[in-house]
Every structure is written in structure tokens, then in C-alpha cells.
Amino acid sequence: MRVALMILLGLVIGILGTVNVMGALEARNPMPKAVMHTMGYHMGELGRAMKARQCAAAGIQQHLQRLQSTATDIVPVFGISDKGFTDKAAELQTRLQQALQAAPATCPALAAAIKPIDDTCKSCHQQYR
Ligand code: HEC
């Protein structure tokens, strides 16, 4: 009985240790989440601009540019070489480029420019998040 209890205790301690180590490993590399949160912030600001009906071209361009430069960090930071993943990251680049070129200056134009970007965020999340 005593031995069984000691074995059980050992197992529990081992499991707790593993959970801790995994947590520490994840905490050590905050970059994947940092990249995503940065993009989430800029998408959020664009959404807010649309809700407030304040879609000045300059502000929009700034957020789109920040999205574009941040998106270049996805592949190196996540370190996922799966083709589906890198394809989605490339698709995001293309769509951000197109939105920047479209240079939306009104809320409806911004909504149209953002839709394909949002679709790419969502489809990658469905597969890889
Ligand atoms: C190439 C794939 C891919 C694309 C494209 C992508 N994401 Fe992500 N995203 C992920 C993955 C994978 C996670 C989960 C990260 C984790 O839990 O470490 C994630 C998580 C997130 C999170 C939650 C972060 C957290 O702390 O859990 C936010 C916010 C986010 N993404 C925003 C965006 C936005 C906004 C876009 C589009 C502009 C986008 N993502 C495009 C793969 C992608």
C-alpha cells in the first residue's frame, strides 16, 4: 500500500514537473503571440475607425503598413515549415500588399480592402491555431 502510494506520488510530481517545464518553454518565446497580438491591435484599430466612421487615408495606411511589416515576421518567428502554413502567411502578404495599393480613403473602401485580409487570418487560425 505504502509503495503504491509512493509510486502514485512520484507520478503526480513528474506530471506537475512536465507541465511546469512546458509552461516555462512557452514563456521563453513570447514572439509568436507578440506578432499575432500586434496584428490583432492594428486590425482592431481599423475596425474601430470604421465603427467611428473616421476612415482618413493617412491613419489607414499607417495601420496597413504596420500589418504588412509585422506579417513578415510570421514565418521566421513561428518556425513552422509546413507548406499550408507558409502559403497562408504568403497569402496574407499578398492581400496586405493589395490593400495598400488600393489605398482606401473611405470607410466602405476600407471594409472592402480588409475583408480578404480578415479571411486569411481566419482560415489560418482554423487550420493551425
Ligand atoms: C499563417 C498562419 C496565420 C495567419 C495568416 C494569421 N495567424 Fe494569428 N495565429 C496563428 C497561430 C498558429 C496562432 C496561435 C499562436 C499561439 O497560441 O502560440 C495565432 C493566434 C492569434 C491570436 C491570439 C494570440 C494569443 O495570445 O493566443 C491573435 C490575436 C491573432 N492570431 C491575430 C491574427 C490576425 C489579426 C491575423 C491577420 C491579420 C492573423 N492572426 C493571421 C496563425 C496565423
Q: Probe ligand 1: pick from 25, 29, 33, 36, max atoms within 8 Å of CB?
A: 36
Phi-psi region of 82 (alpha: psi -120 to 50; beta: other; left: phi over 0): beta
Ligand 1, residues at Cβ distance < 6 Å: 32-33, 36-37, 39-40, 43, 67, 74, 85, 88-89, 92, 117, 120-121, 124-125, 128-129
Which residue segments constitute the domains of the chain, with CATH numbers given? 30-128 (1.20.120.10)
pLDDT (average), residues 118-129 = 97
**CA–CA dist 49, 47 (Å, integer):** 5
For 14-69, what is each residue's pLDDT tens digit? 766 666 656 665 668 999 999 999 999 999 999 999 999 999 999 999 999 999 99
Integer Cα distance of 123 and 26 in angstroms: 24
SS3 at position 29 = coil
